[in-house]
Amino acid sequence: MRDTPMHSRRKDDERRRWAKPAWALAAAASLLVLAGCTSATPNAGEDATATGLEQFMEQELDFGACDASIVSAQPPVPELVAVAEDAECAMLTVPMDYDDLDGETIELAVTRNAATGDADARIGSVVVNPGGPGIPSTTFSPLVAALWAGGPVTERFDIVGFDPRGVGLSRPAIDCYTDDERDADAPLSAFGEWTEESARDIVDKCAEGSGSEEILAHLGTRDAVRDMDVLRSALGDDQLTFAGTSYGTRLGAVYAEMFPQNVRALVLDGAVDPLMDTTERRIQATAGIQASFQRFADFCATQADCPLGSDPAQATAVAQDLLRPLVNEPLIAADGREVGFLAAGEGIVSGLYSEATWPAIIAGLTGLRAGQPDALLALRDGYYGRSDTGEYADAFEATFAINCLDEERLTAEEMTAVGEDLNEVAPFLDPGIPPVTQDGCEFWPAEPTLGFPYATDIDGLPEVLVISATGDPVTPHEGGISLAETLGARLLTVDGNQHGTIISRNPCVDAAVADYLVDLELPDEEARCAL
């Protein structure tokens, strides 16, 4: 097998594309839904040497210098940049189609920050994933290593990230739109503003930007999980130690289903509910956004000159008064871009991912009230990873493509019903126009492959740690409870308004994670932390 250091694969335009995404928002942009049709999966105990996978499982990773984007993507904090500069990178080769091991291959980008302690104390690797599903982990893992620095996890483990197939620095990567199309709010969700023509065109656009239509058929979670097991073997670990946030909890749960005998430890933070289908999950997540908006409104009402007024009960109506005029009369930002209902709403939603960004929503709504949309547009741009030069990260295009292979496909009637339900559970985001009836994934060149429900009735799974914040806006606490019950896992409840907690630098959460990852000791039942 040929393993190539990542730096030799990058082009200058790719470096610019990934320049300086807003990490705090991009890593949280993980509004996920569950999947559709059941697919054939390998036996959990399948022996790789008996399937012809040994050429992949036995490869040696050639770690070397990293692409410049690994450093430039970090927040401008010296300690974070320093850890990113210490990272090593490699490419992992996996089959594009696991049913055709002699066919085309994919190269997955891998980042590693080596354990800082004595070599004889090293336990192995912790593979991390930030969610998305299209958010790169190659830039996330150095951030995790920096935030966990000085503790027992980074002393005893290498911190490893990999960009799943189609994502980030992996090749081929999904690229569907030009930057101008992204500025014009081109749809990036199956529930976006699609027509039959645009839903057909997106397949051609993604295939052209990604190199072929074949890759579009092999991007689902089950393929990514098989890649994770190849990575585990290539890293030299007999069993997988994994920490995933948001969509990363789906990766971990499906890995537990497919390879329970290969699990050492799983930390699943900000859980996607494995028992809910696409429609149920979308409604749950959207209701969570409305609940988070209401908590924000309660906070705003305590501030001087809150743009939503002093009565939180009226916050939704006030927000509607500010947003709905943008459906027909967008505002013009300082850079000349139009800011309509969708962009302004996305700006608000992006600020709801963490209580720390609530003041930015207040500034954005204050500006909107004055006819100046720039502050909300800046939140939206950070959410999407738009650089100061107008170039977009491809994370959301990869997210759309992966979800097309995980989610159920809905009919026009089902789309209408879901749209009406979404407007009912999140009225502050109701645009006041009829729901779109076209599923953007309808013409994707392969049927969904995840299957619903997933990760149920697993035999032989070691103890797992699920972490869930009570005020998580897009993976509500109920989903964490459900995942813990489904996996027979220990649940750590975290009181706070945030999506994901393992990189919050919370001493209580950090201690629980460290005890589990290092010593496999779980927190007490009914244990709680507070942000």
Q: Does the annotation count 472 as an active-site position?
A: yes
φ, ψ at 207 (rounded to 5°):
-65, -45
| 75's tokens | 């927040």
DSSP code per residue over 333-369: -TTS-EE-HHHHHHHHHHHTTBGGGHHHHHHHHHHHH
Cβ atoms of 228 and 255 within 8 Å: the answer is: yes
Amino acid identity of residue 203, one-letter, is V
Task: Find all residues with CB under 8 Å of 401, minimum gap 6, and list them.
Answer: 134, 166, 174, 176, 206, 210, 216, 219
Whose CA is closest to 391, among 16, 10, 25, 15? 16
Question: What does 377-413 look like in DSSP terms, one character per residue?
Answer: HHHHHHHHTB-TTS-B-SHHHHHHHHHHHHBPP--HH
Number of helices (H), then strands (E), in the chain: 20, 11
Q: Which of 376, 375, 316, 372 is nearest to 342 (CA)?
A: 376
H or E element in which residue 469 lies? strand 465-469
Of the candidates 137, 141, 210, 246, the residue annotated as catalytic is 246
Catalytic residue among 210, 472, 477, 504: 472
Assess whether 292 carries a catalytic annotation. Answer: no
**Cα–Cα distance, 280 to 479 (Å, whole number):** 11
Q: Which of 218, 482, 499, 510 is catalytic?
A: 499
Cα separation, 205 vs 203, whole angstroms: 5
Tokens of 474: 């897009």
Q: Please report, as a single letter, which amino acid is at residue 206.
A: C
Instruction: Look up residue 264 and give its amino acid.
Output: R
Place of tokens 């996978």: 53
Enclosing H/E stretch for 449: none
Rg (CA), the chain: 22
Q: How many CB atoms lie within 10 A of CB 144?
A: 25
Yes or no: say if 386 and 181 are a contact pair by the CB < 8 Å rule: no
Residue 210 in tokens:
């990604």
H/E stretch holding 142 reads: helix 140-147
Active site residues: 246, 472, 499
